[in-house]
Structure 1
């Protein structure tokens, strides 16, 4: 069962369900390699000293703390962030311990656009900008295949307005 199934209304279907692009994990993985490599090097330097066990324990505690804070926490945030387009609304859910979310009904969306810088183009992602009846546009960063998502969202917004016109 996909994540948002319990949040769907009767007759509502998921069109797109994505996590942020994996490029946001490059920094945390780099931190993992630097911490493991650096702390292994430091552990090797103190291997011949009589107080090596104490230093190894200290290095292990500090290293695990750094890995938990700078690698595991961003991985958990990435995994628990969901960008979902359904037939009726746009949903974004994020957070590990404290969850937050936003739902935008399709009929409230005025325009959808995207922005892709050079790095985003290389990785195949971008920022989706959704203008709704709210004061300011909402920006969703690191959306994979942002052009396709923008097209699908635009289609769903159009389908919803055509459906409302037929009912009225």
Structure 2
């Protein structure tokens, strides 16, 4: 899914657009399976009772609420979280009802690094750490293919024609 072009400046284009890694959805899927199994087991226990209809309706309501809270909410949160690298900036957007966003111009980024655990390496994700003019480094967790994103972001930063310093640029180096 491409980022909306009307939110970009005329000369800007999207280089990378990612949602968080799918590993964020493992726990919600486990909860879905656990709720369905618990509902089926409990419904079979009360099916022999005289009040089974009321109990099954109550179980269904509780099951739907749990699935909504433990499975659907994280799925929607995952779907509405975006990490975008454009030719001009890095953007992070998240939220459903309350949207938050962060934009970092490429010219303000001092360094980019990544880290990932053994499990992250197996799954192909990691944490991207961007140091900019702000006080604290910004960490973006669960970025898919974090090494590729790191490399592309580094290239975008160094290929930016608005940078003051470009290797081999005599004017910026003070040699002219």
TM-score above 0.5, yes or no: yes
1:19 aligns with 2:35: no
> Counterparts of 1:30 and 1:128 in 2: how far apart (Å)?
27
Q: How many residues align?
A: 167
2:69 aligned partner = 69
Pair member with larger Rg: 2
> Counterparts of 1:109 and 1:3 in 2: how far apart (Å)?
22
1:144-163 equivalences in 2 (<5 Å): 144-160=144-160, 162-163=161-162
What root-mean-square deviation, in Å, do the aligned CA atoms of Structure 1 and Structure 2 show? 1.5
1:109 aligned partner = 109
> Counterparts of 2:139 and 2:126 in 1: how far apart (Å)?
10
> Counterparts of 2:152 and 2:79 in 1: how far apart (Å)?
23
Q: What TM-score, normalized to structure 2?
A: 0.91
> Counterparts of 1:120 and 1:2 in 2: how far apart (Å)?
25
What's the offset of the Cα at 1:163?
4.0
> Counterparts of 2:68 and 2:3 in 1: how far apart (Å)?
25
Structure 2 spans left out of the alignment, 5+ residues = none
> Counterparts of 1:143 and 1:78 in 2: how far apart (Å)?
12
> Counterparts of 2:109 and 2:23 in 1: how far apart (Å)?
28
Q: What TM-score, normalized to structure 1?
A: 0.95
